[in-house]
A and B are shown apart, each in its own frame.
Chain A
Amino acid sequence: DAGVIQSPRHEVTEMGQEVTLRCKPISGHNSLFWYRQTMMRGLELLIYFNNNVPIDDSGMPEDRFSAKMPNASFSTLKIQPSEPRDSAVYFCASFLAGLSGANVLTFGAGSRLTVL
C-alpha cells in the first residue's frame, strides 16, 4: 500500500481564493482525520470521519472550512474564502478503528498551505 496520499503537497494562493485539499486513505481503513499544524497551536484536530460519516467537526475553525468524504477512498477539505491565518500544514490520517485499540494511526505527508 502506498500509504495515505495527500495533494497538493504545497499550495500558495491569494487571500479570498478557494482552496481544496485532497486525501486518499489507506485501503481498508474506516476512520479518517484531518489535522492542522502550526507553530503556535501545534496539531489541531479539525474533523474526523468514521465509515465516511462525519462524526465530530467541532474543531473546524469557521464556516469557511468544510470537509467531505464521498466514499471510503477519498476525502476533501475545502477553505472558501481563504485567509492568511489559514496558512499551515494540513495533515490527513487514517486507521482501522476497533475496540481492540491495536491499530496504528498513519499520516500522509501533509499539504503546506500559504495564503498571501
Chain B
Amino acid sequence: KQEVTQIPAALSVPEGENLVLNCSFTDSAIYNLQWFRQDPGKGLTSLLLIQSSQREQTSGRLNASLDKSSGRSTLYIAASQPGDSATYLCAVYSSNTGKLIFGQGTTLQVKP
C-alpha cells in the first residue's frame, strides 16, 4: 500500500529565505509525482509535475526533485515571499493501483 509522508507538518520562515519541503513515499512504482498548493478555504492548484523518468522540474522560484529509488521528493522555494504562505501537498500517482495518494501537507508561513 502506497503511503505518502510530508515533513515538516508546519514551517515558519522570514521573508527572503530559501526553504525545502520534503515528501517521501513507500512504493517506487509511480507514473509521476505532483506538488500542489492550497490556500485556506480554496481548492488545490498544481505547481509542478515530475514524471517517473525525470529527476527535476523547475517553474520560476520553485524546483522539485524526484529520487524514485529512495522514495523521496523535495520542493525547493527560493527567496520566499509572504505570498508563498499556503499549504503544500505532494501526490503520488501509483502505477500499480492507478490511485493518486496525497501526503498530509506542509503548512508554510512566510513572515514579512
Within 8 A of B (CB), among A27-59: 31, 33, 35, 42-43, 45, 48, 50, 55-56
How many of chain A's residues touch chain B, expressed as a range?
A: 20 to 34
At the interface, yes or no: A61 with Cβ under 8 Å from chain B? no
Q: How far is the CA of A63 from the CA of B61 in the complex (A)?
A: 45
Given contacts A56-B97, A101-B31, contact A107 B102 (CB under 8 A): no
The answer to whether B42 and A109 have CB atoms under 8 Å apart is: yes
The answer to whether A56 and B98 have CB atoms under 8 Å apart is: yes
Partner of B102, one of A42, A55, A103: A42
Given contacts A33-B100, A56-B97, A56-B99, contact A101 B43 (CB under 8 A): no
Given contacts A106-B46, A109-B42, contact A45 B98 (CB under 8 A): no
Residues of B within 8 A of A (CB): 30-32, 34, 36, 42-46, 49, 51-53, 89, 91, 93, 95, 97-105
Residues of A within 8 A of B (CB): 31, 33, 35, 42-43, 45, 48, 50, 55-56, 91, 93, 97, 99-110
